[in-house]
Structure 1
Amino acid sequence: MIGLIGIILSLVLLMYLAYKGFSVIILAPLLALFAVLWSGLSHEVLGVYSQIFMTGLGGYIIKYFPLFLLGAIFGKLMDDSGSARTIANFFVDKLGHKRAMLSIVLSCAILTYGGVSLFVVGFAVFPIAAALFKELGIPKRLIPGAIMLGALTFTMTALPGTPAIQNAIPMPFFNTDLYAAPGLGILSSIFILITGMYWLNYRTQRAHAQQEGYGQHIEPETQISMGQQGPSLIIAMLPIIVVIVTNLILTKFILPSLDTAYLSTDKFGNTSLNSVLGLWAIICALVLACLTIIVCNWQRIRDIKDSLQQGVSSSFLPIFNTASEVGYGSVIASLAGFLILRDFLIGLAPHNPLISEAIVINVLAGITGSASGGLSIALNTMGETYMNLAIQHGISPELMHRVASMASGALDSLPHNGAVITIITLCGLSHKQSYYDMFVVAVIIPLIALIGVISFGTMFGSF
């Protein structure tokens, strides 16, 4: 019990200090070792750090670094070529000013579903949203909610095929791919989009009824791409189409047809195609998409070498933040007190591991303020347990994958979440002004959708 208290204190400190702005890269090892010391294992501290924490951190980087690297490069190239802005402008032009909210949400959704990072999406869409909302008298405080709905809800965790890391992490644990439980994913995505739009439109109408306009704001400076005039819509959309189509073809047809028996040898870690299929597919898709942007926008990108370098540099901090949280989770999972916590969480729904999985991932994502961090900690510590429980209860691994992914994208969006802070800062607003609507569209609605997926999956299985 003493060890369990240490784990809880460690988690609380991690959440509080991360909210205060301390780097997770520093907090994770210190607080992991704090839990070790509290458990009375002071003689094991150095061994735990080098053999458990660093092994967990390194293992995550080995597995997922290509996704972070290629995703960051892809996003930077989409930004510098002007492609991201072209896509955003297209939706605004076609849907018209009367559907301003929908145009901003769909712009974010298309870009993120195509693999563009939130940071790039924010800088591409915010100036358009600000000008449009100001012209129509829509409160500026609703812009962060619109960006969150399009970029950090259904296209991050629910929509099948999304290349988001939150959809990729469960693959090796459940031997699935990015298209796990497609029917449930599509239904939940539609629900999140419709209910989220209903909420944002309701808030807009209420603001108009109270004669609240855009408001008086000093607009923050935004980094506008230094490239030339943006490409045509076809050229702008082509890399996103390449990501989606290539990923699908590789996952369903090409890679399964290859002779991969060599993977089962000692040289390749005695693994199987199923455990690496999804990662291989999205890596190849992103490489091809990056090459497509460069070839199609050779004259528009001012300095390709600089774009590539900035993309590389911007990938380091995100992956080390998440990997540090994984190392932290590895240490916590090695402590005796964790067994008590694990058994308690599994016991919350002994006959339905979907419920336990959803609770565990949501709680950890909320504590760490990171969807990928909470998901990684949960699956690295309990992934094998949940896979065994799924087999025991006849639950499809695809359903376990979809619930895990969606569970990471709800309580993660609490006020200390990095993406929440980034969007609010980008828009020049405060939590007090805009977080309420962000909370509704990125926490409440996804939680309701998750409950629906668990209910439908329990009754009808995966589809």
Structure 2
Amino acid sequence: MGLFGILLGLGLLVWLAFRGWSVLGLAPVAALIAAAFSGDPLLANWTQTFMGSAAGFIAQFFPLFLLGALFGKLMDDTGSVTAIANFMTDKLGPSRSILAVVLAGALVTYGGVSLFVAMFVIAPMGQALFRAAEIPNRLLPAAVMLGTTTFTMSALPGSPAIQNAIPMPFFGTTPFAAPGLGFIAAGIMLGFGLWWLARGEAAARRTGEGFSGAPAAASSAAHDPLVRERATVAREFDPAEIEHGAHSLHLPGIGVALLPLIVVMLVNLTMSLLVLPRLDTAYLAELRWGETSLSSVGGVWSVIVALAAAILVLFVFNRSRLPALRETVDAGLNASVLPVMSVASLVGFGAVVAALPAFEMVRDWVLGIDGGPLVGLALATNVLSALTGSASGGLTIALGALGETYMQLAATYGIDPALMHRVAVIGAGSLDSLPHNGAVVTLLAVCGATHKESYFDIVMVGIVGALLALVAVIALGSAFGSF
């Protein structure tokens, strides 16, 4: 009965979330259903287990959500994202429209700009490029997804994406975990995705299929409540805040636009590899600091300092381009609240399920999968991200339930925790792009496309490419270790 309750609660959560119900209410209800079938006390599960775990997630990662959303909104309102997208399209031109869209999205998201901020700027500009080049609009969502939600989120070392930060406290790693394997995985995702999109463009030209599709619908997507509910579970920015504040009438030069992104990368690297390892952080073992260690918090600290420094630089060089500074800052800060609460609720659900006696059967099954700990970890993160429609939610649930066990297995089998980190992140970023994923739903709405028209191409660049990269990382990591 306990296992049936877990499956029932999970099924209810997935089904109603797909229909647009808020995870804030669904997650505790689903957790209580699972607890009821196990005969566990309901109120204790809600107030102690569920809320305790959700609060722990917020305590660890809310600064990243907060600063990430604010940075993205400032980059948007100063015109920096638009300037970068314009630069890429001007340099590459309509003849290489797909490459321009992919690289523009990759550049801004790897520099710390939220997916949804990038999406709402790049999709309309990409549509104009596709129209000029006579490329079908149905390929645009896959091009935007390839640049914004694949290799820059899960593979490239140093990515400030929340998904790359989540494994750090569990494995004691930094954002630059397994950099060589990360670059290889990124190359596979990018290469396969560009090949697939070029193939689609060539096929369209052979059949005489030109540009066709609805106009970009960024404004209507931002105000769609169904899009909002799904989107805030998937990423760290609330789309409802995208149009609040005021955009600059004058775009910055490309150097000024790129500077904050460069600051994020350089400060993150410096903090991770040079500054924090040299600090005396023995005080963290004291009770007042949570009896923790630098390995548990250092990765998060690096990203926090990097984003804070970039925000400061962005403000100094763009103050005149922020006509409504308070409104822009408020919108950016507010945009972080619903996403962090939504993901925390998923984490709370996972904590309740992991604490139930019946979950031991699930744990034993996952740990007994042929192929060793890396394959089991990849499968666990893939399945949970697919079910929740959230890479961050699925990743946190998987590591919250199994992270300690996998660390023990890593020690037993001599596996570098950095390799576990990279496998977990790439795994979470593979099957999360199912039809109900918030990023997919939002992207299609912004591009004026439908699942029927564009989803197969999204599957190829967002799922198949990521799975190929995941297989390569597991194979290379098993053969040569982490590098």
Category of TM-score, reference length = shorter chain: over 0.9
Q: In structure 2, which of residues 136, 146, 153 is the aligned counterpart of residue 139 of structure 1? A: 136
Q: Which amino acid aligns with 1:381?
A: A
Partner of 1:24: 23
Mapped to 2, the partners of 1:387 and 1:362 lie a distance apart of 18
Mapped to 2, the partners of 1:131 and 1:148 lie a distance apart of 17
Mapped to 2, the partners of 1:220 and 1:426 lie a distance apart of 5
Partner of 2:85: 88
Partner of 1:326: 347
Mapped to 2, the partners of 1:408 and 1:298 lie a distance apart of 38
Within 5 A, what are the aligned runs for 1:60-79? 60-79=57-76
1:221 Cα deviation after fit:
5.1
Mapped to 2, the partners of 1:229 and 1:432 lie a distance apart of 39
Partner of 2:374: 354
1:220 Cα deviation after fit:
2.3
Mapped to 2, the partners of 1:430 and 1:191 lie a distance apart of 27
1:149 Cα deviation after fit:
0.3
Within 5 A, what are the aligned runs for 1:31-46? 31-41=30-40, 44-46=41-43
Contact 1:364/1:374 (<8 A) preserved: yes
Partner of 1:433: 453
Mapped to 2, the partners of 1:270 and 1:391 lie a distance apart of 22
Structure 2 residue matching 1:414: 3-state secondary structure: coil
Alignment pair present for 1:248 and 2:269: yes
Mapped to 2, the partners of 1:217 and 1:443 lie a distance apart of 25
Q: In structure 2, which of residues 312, 319, 324 is the aligned counterpart of residue 298 of structure 1? A: 319
Q: In structure 2, which of residues 382, 385, 398 is the aligned counterpart of residue 378 of structure 1? A: 398
Partner of 2:466: 446
Partner of 2:254: 233
Q: Which amino acid aligns with 1:244?
A: M
Q: Which amino acid aligns with 1:408?
A: A
1:452 Cα deviation after fit:
0.8
Q: In structure 1, which of residues 335, 342, 346 is the aligned counterpart of residue 356 of structure 2? A: 335
Q: What percentage of aligned pairs have identical amino acids? A: 49
CA RMSD, aligned part only?
A: 1.1
Mapped to 1, the partners of 2:417 and 2:253 lie a distance apart of 41
Partner of 1:388: 408
Q: Which amino acid aligns with 2:266?
A: V
Q: In structure 2, which of residues 181, 185, 188 is the aligned counterpart of residue 188 of structure 1? A: 185
Alignment pair present for 1:130 and 2:127: yes
- Structure 1 unaligned blocks of 5 or more: none
Mapped to 1, the partners of 2:434 and 2:218 lie a distance apart of 26
Partner of 1:260: 281
Mapped to 1, the partners of 2:454 and 2:317 lie a distance apart of 38
Partner of 1:98: 95
Q: Which amino acid aligns with 2:315?
A: I
1:336 Cα deviation after fit:
0.7
Contact 1:228/1:301 (<8 A) preserved: no
1:219 Cα deviation after fit:
3.9
Per-residue CA shift, 1:351-383, capped at 9, x if unaligned? 610000000110000000000000000001110
Within 5 A, what are the aligned runs for 1:211-222? 211-220=208-217, 222=219
Question: What is the TM-score normalised by the length of structure 2?
Answer: 0.93
Mapped to 2, the partners of 1:356 and 1:12 lie a distance apart of 22
Alignment pair present for 1:153 and 2:150: yes
The number of equivalent residue pairs is: 459
Q: Which amino acid aligns with 2:368?
A: G
Mapped to 1, the partners of 2:421 and 2:295 lie a distance apart of 14
Contact 2:213/2:448 (<8 A) preserved: no
1:217 Cα deviation after fit:
2.4
Mapped to 2, the partners of 1:182 and 1:176 lie a distance apart of 12
Structure 1 residue matching 2:436: 3-state secondary structure: coil
Contact 2:216/2:446 (<8 A) preserved: no
Partner of 1:172: 169
* Runs of 4+ with >4 A deviation: 221-225
390-399 or 223-232, larger mean C-alpha shift: 223-232
Structure 1 residue matching 2:159: 3-state secondary structure: coil
Mapped to 2, the partners of 1:106 and 1:457 lie a distance apart of 28
Mapped to 1, the partners of 2:438 and 2:59 lie a distance apart of 23
Q: Which amino acid aligns with 2:332?
A: G
Mapped to 2, the partners of 1:176 and 1:218 lie a distance apart of 44
Structure 2 residue matching 1:340: 3-state secondary structure: helix
Contact 2:170/2:399 (<8 A) preserved: yes
357-366 or 425-434, larger mean C-alpha shift: 425-434
- Structure 2 unaligned blocks of 5 or more: 220-241
Q: In structure 2, which of residues 41, 44, 49 is the aligned counterpart of residue 47 of structure 1? A: 44
1:333 Cα deviation after fit:
0.5
Within 5 A, what are the aligned runs for 1:105-120? 105-120=102-117
Q: 1:218 to 1:242 in 2, by over 3 A?
A: closer
Q: 1:53 to 1:98 in 2, by over 3 A?
A: same
Mapped to 2, the partners of 1:252 and 1:398 lie a distance apart of 14
Within 5 A, what are the aligned runs for 1:196-215? 196-215=193-212
Mapped to 1, the partners of 2:445 and 2:163 lie a distance apart of 23
Question: What is the TM-score normalised by the length of structure 1?
Answer: 0.97
Partner of 1:366: 386
Contact 2:120/2:218 (<8 A) preserved: no
Mapped to 2, the partners of 1:155 and 1:216 lie a distance apart of 28
Per-residue CA shift, 1:313-335, capped at 9, x if unaligned? 11011111100000000000010
1:216 Cα deviation after fit:
4.5
Partner of 2:225: none
